[in-house]
Amino acid sequence: MMNHTSKTEKDDATLFSAELARTVLNSLSAHIAILDENGVILETNTAWRNYADKSGMPDDYDDRGSNYLAVCDATTGSESDDARKVAEGIRAVLRGDLEEFLYDYPCHSEDGPHWYYLRAIRMSGPGPIRVVASHEEITVLKLTEEALRKSQEALIEQKQSLEEANIAMKVLLKQREEDKLELEKKVLNNVKDLVLPYVEKLKNSRLKGKDRTLVDIVDTHLQDIISPLLQRFSNAKILLTPQEMHVASLVKDGKTSKEIADVLNVSETTVNFHRKNLRVKFGLRNKRTNLRSYLLSISQ
Tell me the three state secondary structure of residue 131. strand
- In whole angstroms, give the CA distance from residue 61 to residue 203: 115
What is the rounded distance in angstroms from the CA atom of residue 255 to the CA atom of residue 274? 14
Q: In terms of DSSP bridges, do strands 41-44 and 115-122 run parallel, antiparallel, or are they unpaired?
A: unpaired
Asked whether residue 144 carries a pLDDT value surpassing 90, the answer given is yes
Assign 172 to helix, strand or coil: helix
pLDDT in tens, 24-45: 888 888 899 999 999 999 999 9
Do the beta carbons of residue 100 and residue 75 sit within 8 Å? no
- What DSSP element (H or E) covers 46? helix 46-54
Query: Both 293 and 182 in a single domain?
Result: yes
Within this chain, do residues 199 and 133 fall inside the same structural domain, yes or no?
no
Q: Is the pTM of this model over 0.75?
A: no
At 92, the amino acid letter reads A
Mean pLDDT of 152-163: 92
Q: In this predicted structure, which of 99-103, 254-258, 294-298 has the lowest mean pLDDT?
A: 294-298
Residue 300 predicted with pLDDT over 70: no
Residue 168 forms part of a structural domain: no
Number of domains making up the chain: 2
Q: Which of 85, 110, 137 is the last residue of a domain?
A: 137
> Residue 113 sits in a domain of what CATH number?
3.30.450.20
Q: How confident is the model at residue 5 (pLDDT cuts 50, 70, 90)?
A: low
The reported pLDDT for the residue numbered 216 is 84
Q: Indicate whether 132 and 184 sit together in one domain.
A: no
219 within 8 A of 199, measured Cβ to Cβ: yes
For residue 20, the SS3 value is helix
Half-sphere exposure of 71 (CA within 13 A, CB side): 11
**Structural domain includes residue 279:** yes
Within a domain: residue 6?
no
Does a structural domain hold residue 4? no
Same structural domain for residues 216 and 133?
A: no
Cα 139 to Cα 232: distance, rounded to the nearest angstrom: 66
Q: Is the pLDDT of residue 107 over 70?
A: yes
Residues 193 and 125 in one domain: no
In terms of Cβ atoms closer than 10 Å to its own Cβ (0-12, 13-18, 19+), residue 121 is middle
pLDDT at 11: 59
Percent of residues, the chain, with pLDDT higher than 70: 94
Closest by CA position to 291, among listed 249, 262, 259:
249
**Is position 191 within any domain?**
yes
User: What mean pLDDT comes out for the span 92-105?
Assistant: 93
Q: Are 281 and 240 in contact (CB under 8 A)?
A: yes
With the C-alpha atoms ordered 4, 9, 14, 16, is the resulting torsion angle positive or negative? positive
User: Does some domain include residue 165?
Assistant: no
Q: Which domain holds residue 58?
A: 19-137
Q: What is the pLDDT of residue 2?
A: 47
The answer to whether position 161 is within a domain reads no
Task: Please tell me the predicted confidence (pLDDT) of residue 228.
Answer: 77
Q: How far apart, in whole angstroms, are the C-alpha atoms of residue 54 and residue 12?
A: 36
The helix or strand, by DSSP H or E, that contains position 42, with its residue range, turns out to be strand 41-44
Q: Specify the CATH number for the domain of residue 272.
A: 1.10.10.10
Q: Which of 108, 137, 166 delimits the end of a domain?
A: 137
> Does residue 126 fall inside a structural domain?
yes
Please state the φ and ψ torsions of residue 130, each to the nearest 5 degrees. Answer: -135, 140
Provide the β-strand partners of residue 116.
105, 137
Q: Are 230 and 236 in contact (CB under 8 A)?
A: yes
Check whether residue 112 and residue 219 sit in a common domain.
no
Q: Which of 104, 137, 170 is the last residue of a domain?
A: 137
